[in-house]
């Protein structure tokens, strides 16, 4: 990634409750990443080692659904400091696989995973771990979202177009690029 | 049966009544019966026997003022006794020929009685619904005889058209036009259906008519059968009305016995019979095509119209389907003439309308007023207004398909058009009065829950749309709604009403739309301030916690 | 033989079209290359007019009409794709996605699903309504097929094909409203059904992944609902 200069737009990527497949798809842009990197500064991402979300971000790509109290805290923070917030991939857009737990009450779910499976030390982890929200929600049910990019995951081509358009100051036309589950 | 024979039955019935100088009529319709008026009747009978009093004790239909039940009328002076208890029987019988105690007496010199005009309810509370002779003594079945002997089917249709009667089930389609369409549709077999699947919350007009004067409905149906060329009629009545079903069964049996039903009715070539079909408790079966599917033994779901039942209805035959109250108007229209009927009411809505007045109003009960009567007169004169300590807020008409009408329209003359203009509908006649203890968002939510659970699930807008609207309204009442939820709700209202398959879905948004129209500030309070001014919604607790 | 119905001429989306009097607007439109979206309609089955996607505007009428049941009339002017109609269609699709648990990424019908296709065709990138996330079972008791209620849109194509074509009437609906549920026989496991002939027609006509062939999971085998018109033609020919 290129060095930060004041004039370049800033980009962040955020990983909530998802499988990281969307981030893999970002990496899948391969050499186009180099091309793009001239146009923006990556200021926050699980792919790079920044600890704090910056005060001002131009474009934030969000992977994953809002499943825990930590996810919720994080997405509210991100929203407050981001100009264009992008729901990237089905987990962020629909809840997708993480939301498949929604019909089941959280306590029942935890019991099923952590108890009664012949485990040696049956216990539900509580300390220093984010607690699960009663329902997994898509990002736009929690904060306002500017651009929706469905897909599981959206293809590298789609992500490239989305980033290029946003950096050029245009809102990308997603419907032609990707769809639920694609 | 000839006019002379009919007159003889009437004379005999009147004479039988007159052998008693006094009579006590006890209301045994569902309202008073639920307060054990049958036990009061037995107590009175026992007391009369014990004292050897020369008095007749009879059960009759609804006397209208249900909130003061159980009701007893003393004849011939017509004194109305309210809140009668079994223990009052000795005193009532002891004072048969003198003044009744003040605590029981309810004066008829009150607007509740004076402002009403009875056509459909003319016999309610006056005759024994299980005695066909009493109906005949009240000029019953004269219209049928007149129709069969003096009129052609076309003349009957003309008379009904002239009366200006419109469908009393709620939509207000001209009855004469409907009859004419079925009459003119070519078909060897035709059917007449009486829709008694009354299901609106707060509505009990049809139940009361069937319990109080079932022969009036049968007579209307038989005339209709003759007019449109049908030989079989069905009454589709909901299973929740066991008393109405029982009285209909008795009435049909008696009408067959006297030859008003069966083959060659009154020595003419016309044959007609009526069967009862009992509904299984689905509100949507009040929709005509769903009702027909249910009679056919299929799942009760509506189908797209056209074709309308008049062209292709029950078993794909031309079918006339009218509501209980519509049929109940027919005998009087034929007896007194369409022109007379049309002299009552407003320009476009003729005759009278029965309303079930309930909610926060002093006189809860069943009333009948000419079309065009102002709401204020119905609620404040006849209904006696809102009980002490509270203020009138709105009146809900038309059930889950209707809307809430606020105070500023109280002087509105009630008819099909005027109610529509202010965002409600006439509906079948339920009228729920609400005072300041009602939260309009919560009211909208209640009706939406009703529509959601009564949606048949066939079409997507109604099935999933009502569920989403209910969820959005729930968020508003429990304080979790965001401002854009209101936009979503309004978008859904428009979509569900424009795209649903049948009337249930098309009108399901009405309670929301009308409350939004007149009480939008209450929605905003719920969403923004988490405040419910009536203090009934959960969101208030949330506001307290955060304060 | 009954006399042939009269030929009617009408206007669909500004195009002059002639159609037989017993044809629906949908039939006439498709015959003339004008597409109208549908989900519950399938050539060869009776119409129910339930999905409301095919609603069209008729000149002179404020009420929208389902093209799949509305017969053509002389001089009719039909519009099939106004902004209002498109808005309603998008909302209907959103309602369907929010109603049950449609998780495209793990669905056997991913990329072969008519609901997904319609969403794409209508430019749906997200669902604005809260997901209802109901708890629904999966019936895998049949030896060859399975039913996942989470993906069922209650279009009743399976009910109709089983009743009208196969003549078995194994499928029908239980309950009402959002609680409606597709059931086999009298709400017994599909595998224990006395009436099911295991013909698989229901699986072929199912527009989503609700009914599927267990052996083809992940196999990306497209469903073939077109066999119905062939069956019907054969039947007509034999008559």
Q: Which of residues 65-124 of C touch B (CB under 8 A)?
A: 66, 69-70, 87-88, 91-92, 95-96, 98-99
**pLDDT of res. A1:** 43
Question: Pick from B459, B491, B499: which is nearest to C64 by CB?
Answer: B499
**pLDDT of res. A6:** 57
Contact between chains at C125 and A149 (C-beta distance less than 8 A): yes
Contact between chains at C126 and A145 (C-beta distance less than 8 A): yes
If you average pLDDT over every residue of chain B, what do you get?
95
Contact between chains at C103 and A179 (C-beta distance less than 8 A): no
Measured between alpha carbons, how far apart are the two ends of chain C, in Å? 13
User: Which DSSP string do the residues of C134-174 spell out, in sequence order?
Assistant: ----EE--SSSEEEEGGG-----HHHHIIIIII----EEEE
**pLDDT of res. C237:** 67
Bridge pairing between strands A57-63 and A82-88: parallel
Comparing CA positions, the residue from B504, B514, B348 lying closest to residue B432 is: B514
**pLDDT of res. A4:** 47
Q: Which of C55, C81, C107 is the last residue of a domain?
A: C81
Helix axes B460-478, B483-499, angle to 10 degrees: 160
**pLDDT of res. A46:** 93
Q: Which residues contact A149 (CB under 8 A, 6 or more apart)?
A: A86, A87, A88, A89, A93, A158, A159, A162, A174, A177, A178, C125
CB–CB of B161/B22 below 8 Å? no
Does CATH place domain B20-108 in 3.40.30.10?
A: yes
* Predicted confidence band of residue B49 (pLDDT cuts 50, 70, 90): very high
Q: C49, C178, C179, C186: best mutation site toward chain B, by most B Cβ within 10 Å?
A: C178
State the Cα–Cα distance between residues B321 and B235, nearest whole angstrom.
10
**For C122, which residue in chain A has the nearest alpha carbon?**
A175
CATH class of A10-100+132-167: alpha beta
Contact between chains at A102 and C131 (C-beta distance less than 8 A): yes
Contact between chains at B499 and C129 (C-beta distance less than 8 A): no
Q: What residues of chain B lie within 8 A of the CB of C55, using their CB?
A: 499
Distances from the Cα of A32 to the Cα of A7, A21, A36, B238, angstroms? 21, 18, 6, 70
Same domain membership, residue C160 and residue C53: no
C152/chain A closest Cα distance in angstroms = 16
Q: What residues of chain C lie within 8 A of the CB of A96, using their CB?
A: 103, 105
C175/chain A closest Cα distance in angstroms = 20
Domain regions of chain B by residue span: 20-108, 140-342, 352-434, 440-546
CATH code, C218: 3.30.70.20
State the Cα–Cα distance between residues B179 and B202, nearest whole angstrom.
29
Which residues span the domain enclosing C145?
Answer: 86-228
CB–CB of B58/B23 below 8 Å? yes
- pTM of the predicted model, to two decimals? 0.94
Q: What residues of chain C lie within 8 A of the CB of A145, using their CB?
A: 126
pLDDT in tens, B196-206: 999 998 899 99
Low-confidence residues of chain A: pLDDT under 50: 1-4
CATH code, C63: 3.10.20.740
Q: Helix, strand, or coil here: B50?
A: helix
Residue at C154 is within a domain = yes
pLDDT in tens, B436-488: 999 999 999 999 999 999 999 999 999 999 999 999 999 999 999 999 999 99
B447/chain C closest Cα distance in angstroms = 15
C11: part of which helix (H) or strand (E)? Answer: strand C7-12
pLDDT above 80: residue B33: yes
**For C53, which residue in chain B has the nearest alpha carbon?**
B499
Using a CB–CB cut-off of 8 Å, the residues of A that contact C are 87, 90, 93-97, 99-100, 102-104, 135, 138, 140-141, 145, 148-150, 152, 174-175, 179-182
Contact between chains at B471 and C130 (C-beta distance less than 8 A): yes
Domain regions of chain A by residue span: 10-100+132-167
pLDDT in tens, B411-439: 999 999 999 999 999 988 999 999 999 99
State the Cα–Cα distance between residues B358 and B342, nearest whole angstrom.
28
Same domain membership, residue C98 and residue C71: no
Same domain membership, residue C94 and residue C37: no
Chains in contact with A, where contact means 3 or more Cβ–Cβ distances below 8 Å, are: C
CB–CB of B134/B128 below 8 Å? yes
Same domain membership, residue C182 and residue C69: no
Contact between chains at C104 and A152 (C-beta distance less than 8 A): yes
Q: What residues of chain C lie within 8 A of the CB of A141, using their CB?
A: 130
The residue-averaged pLDDT of B354-380 equals 96
**pLDDT of res. C239:** 43
Q: Based on the structure, what is the number of domains in chain C?
A: 2
Contact between chains at A94 and C127 (C-beta distance less than 8 A): yes
Residue at C1 is within a domain = no
pLDDT above 90: residue B541: no
**pLDDT of res. A116:** 76
Contact between chains at A141 and C134 (C-beta distance less than 8 A): no
Same domain membership, residue C104 and residue C66: no
Residue with tokens 């131009």: A58
Question: Over pLDDT 90: what percentage of chain B?
Answer: 92
Q: Which of C50, C81, C112 is the last residue of a domain?
A: C81
Contact between chains at A104 and C106 (C-beta distance less than 8 A): no
* Predicted confidence band of residue B243 (pLDDT cuts 50, 70, 90): very high
Q: Which of C57, C81, C105 is the last residue of a domain?
A: C81
Same domain membership, residue C116 and residue C61: no
Contact between chains at C128 and A140 (C-beta distance less than 8 A): yes
CB–CB of C12/C195 below 8 Å? no
C215/chain B closest Cα distance in angstroms = 31
Q: pLDDT averaged over consecutive 10-residue blocks of chain C (239 residues)? A: 80 96 96 97 95 97 96 97 97 98 93 94 96 96 97 98 96 96 97 97 96 80 79 68
CATH class of B440-546: mainly alpha
CATH of B352-434, picked from 3.40.50.2300, 3.10.20.600, 3.40.50.720, 3.30.230.10, is 3.10.20.600
Burial class, B181, CB count within 10 angstroms (exposed 0-12 / middle 13-18 / buried 19+): middle
C219/chain A closest Cα distance in angstroms = 16
Chain CA centroid to CA B197, Å: 10
Residue with tokens 């020919």: C237
pLDDT in tens, B87-104: 999 999 999 988 888 999
Per-residue three-class SS string for B345-414: ECCCCECEEEEEEEECCCCCEEEEEECCCEHHHHHHHHCCCCCCCCCEEEEEECHHHCEEEEHHHCCCEC
Q: Helix, strand, or coil here: C75?
A: coil
Q: Say which DSSP state B40 is in.
A: H
* Predicted confidence band of residue B521 (pLDDT cuts 50, 70, 90): very high
- Please give the CATH topology (third level) of the domain spanning B140-342: Rossmann fold (3.40.50)
**pLDDT of res. A37:** 87
pLDDT in tens, C159-214: 999 999 999 999 999 999 999 999 999 999 999 999 999 999 999 999 999 999 99
Comparing CA positions, the residue from C150, C146, C149 lying closest to residue C202 is: C146
**For C92, which residue in chain B has the nearest alpha carbon?**
B461
């Amino acid at each position: 990634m290129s060095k930060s200069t004041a004039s370049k737009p800033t980009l962040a990527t955020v990983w909530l409750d998802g499988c990281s497949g969307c981030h893999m798809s970002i990496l899948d842009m391969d050499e186009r990443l180099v091309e793009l990197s001239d146009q923006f500064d990556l200021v926050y991402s699980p792919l790079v080692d920044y600890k704090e979300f910056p005060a001002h971000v131009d474009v934030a790509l969000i992977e994953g659904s809002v499943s825990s109290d930590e996810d919720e805290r994080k997405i509210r923070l991100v929203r407050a400091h981001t100009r264009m917030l992008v729901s990237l991939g089905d987990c962020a857009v629909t809840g997708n696989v993480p939301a498949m737990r929604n019909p089941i009450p959280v306590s029942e779910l935890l019991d099923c995973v952590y108890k009664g499976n012949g485990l040696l030390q049956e216990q539900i982890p509580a300390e220093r771990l984010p607690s699960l929200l009663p329902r997994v929600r898509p990002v736009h049910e929690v904060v306002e979202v500017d651009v929706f990019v469905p897909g599981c995951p959206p293809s590298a081509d789609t992500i490239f177009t989305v980033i290029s358009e946003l950096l050029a100051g245009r809102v990308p036309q997603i419907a032609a690029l990707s769809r639920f589950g694609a | 049966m000839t006019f002379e024979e009919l007159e003889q039955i009437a004379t005999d019935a009147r004479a039988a009544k007159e052998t008693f100088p006094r009579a006590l009529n006890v209301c045994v319709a569902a309202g008073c019966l639920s307060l054990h008026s049958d036990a009061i009747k037995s107590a009175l009978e026992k007391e009369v026997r014990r004292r050897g009093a020369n008095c007749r004790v009879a059960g009759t239909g609804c006397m209208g003022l249900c909130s003061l039940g159980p009701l007893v009328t003393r004849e011939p002076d017509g004194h109305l006794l309210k809140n009668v208890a079994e223990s009052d029987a000795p005193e009532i019988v002891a004072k048969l020929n003198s003044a009744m105690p003040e605590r029981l007496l309810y004066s008829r010199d009150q607007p509740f009685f004076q402002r009403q005009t009875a056509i459909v309810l003319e016999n309610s509370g006056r005759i024994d619904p299980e005695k066909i002779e009493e109906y005949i003594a009240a000029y019953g079945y004269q219209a049928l005889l007149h129709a069969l002997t003096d009129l052609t089917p076309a003349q009957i249709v003309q008379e009904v058209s002239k009366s200006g009667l419109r469908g009393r089930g709620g939509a207000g389609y001209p009855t004469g036009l409907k009859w004419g369409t079925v009459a003119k549709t070519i078909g060897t077999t035709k059917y007449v259906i009486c829709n008694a699947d009354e299901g609106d919350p707060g509505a009990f007009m049809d139940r009361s008519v069937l319990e109080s004067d079932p022969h009036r409905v049968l007579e209307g149906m038989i005339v209709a059968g003759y007019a449109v060329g049908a030989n079989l009629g069905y009454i589709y009545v909901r299973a929740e009305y066991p008393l109405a079903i029982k009285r209909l069964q008795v009435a049909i049996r008696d009408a067959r016995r006297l030859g008003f039903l069966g083959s060659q009715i009154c020595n003419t070539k016309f044959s007609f019979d009526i069967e009862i079909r009992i509904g299984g408790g689905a509100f949507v079966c009040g929709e005509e095509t769903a009702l027909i599917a249910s009679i056919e033994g299929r799942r009760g779901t509506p189908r797209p119209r056209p074709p309308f039942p008049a062209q292709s209805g029950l078993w794909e035959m031309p079918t006339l389907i009218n509501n209980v109250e519509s049929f109940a108007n027919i005998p009087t229209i034929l007896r007194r003439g369409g022109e007379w009927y049309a002299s009552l009411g407003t320009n476009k809505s003729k005759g009278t309308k029965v309303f079930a007045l309930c909610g926060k109003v002093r006189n809860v009960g069943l009333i009948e007023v000419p079309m065009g009567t102002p709401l204020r007169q119905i609620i404040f004169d006849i209904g006696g207004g809102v009980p002490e300590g509270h203020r009138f807020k709105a009146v809900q008409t038309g059930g889950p398909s209707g809307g809430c009408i606020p105070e500023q329209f109280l002087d509105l003359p009630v008819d099909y058009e005027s109610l529509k203009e202010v965002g409600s509908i006439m509906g079948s006649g339920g009228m729920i009065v609400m005072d300041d203890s009602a939260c309009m968002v919560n009211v909208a939510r209640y009706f939406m829950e009703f529509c959601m659970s009564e949606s048949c699930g066939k079409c997507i807008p109604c099935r999933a749309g009502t569920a989403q609207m209910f969820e959005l309204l729930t968020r508003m009442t429990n304080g979790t709604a965001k401002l854009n939820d209101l936009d979503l709700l309004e978008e859904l209202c428009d979509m569900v009403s424009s795209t649903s398959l049948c009337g249930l879905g098309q009108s399901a948004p009405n309670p929301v739309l009308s409350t939004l129209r007149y009480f939008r500030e209450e929605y905003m309070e719920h969403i923004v301030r988490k405040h419910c001014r009536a203090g009934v919604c959960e969101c208030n607790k949330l506001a307290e916690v955060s304060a | 033989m009954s006399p042939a119905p009269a030929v009617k001429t009408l206007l669909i989306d500004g195009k002059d079209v002639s159609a037989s009097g017993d044809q629906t607007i949908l039939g006439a439109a498709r015959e003339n290359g004008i597409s109208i979206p549908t989900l519950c309609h399938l050539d060869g089955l009776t119409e129910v007019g339930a999905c409301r996607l095919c609603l069209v505007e008729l000149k002179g009428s404020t009420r929208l009409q389902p093209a799949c049941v509305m017969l053509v009339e002389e001089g009719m002017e039909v519009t099939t794709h106004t902004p209002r109609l498109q808005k309603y269609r998008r909302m209907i699709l959103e309602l369907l996605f929010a109603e049950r648990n449609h998780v495209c990424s793990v669905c056997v019908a991913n990329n072969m699903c008519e609901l997904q296709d319609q969403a794409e065709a209508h430019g749906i990138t997200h669902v604005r309504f809260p997901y209802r996330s109901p708890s629904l079972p999966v019936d895998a008791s049949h030896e060859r097929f399975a039913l996942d209620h989470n993906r069922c849109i209650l279009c009743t194509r399976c009910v109709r094909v089983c009743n009208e074509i196969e003549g078995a009437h194994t499928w029908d609906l239980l309950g009402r409203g959002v609680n409606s549920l597709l059931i086999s026989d009298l709400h017994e496991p599909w595998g224990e059904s006395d009436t099911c002939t295991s013909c698989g027609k229901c699986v072929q006509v199912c527009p989503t992944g609700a009914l599927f062939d267990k052996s083809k999971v992940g196999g990306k085998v497209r469903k073939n609902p077109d066999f119905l018109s062939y069956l019907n033609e054969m039947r007509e020919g034999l008559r």
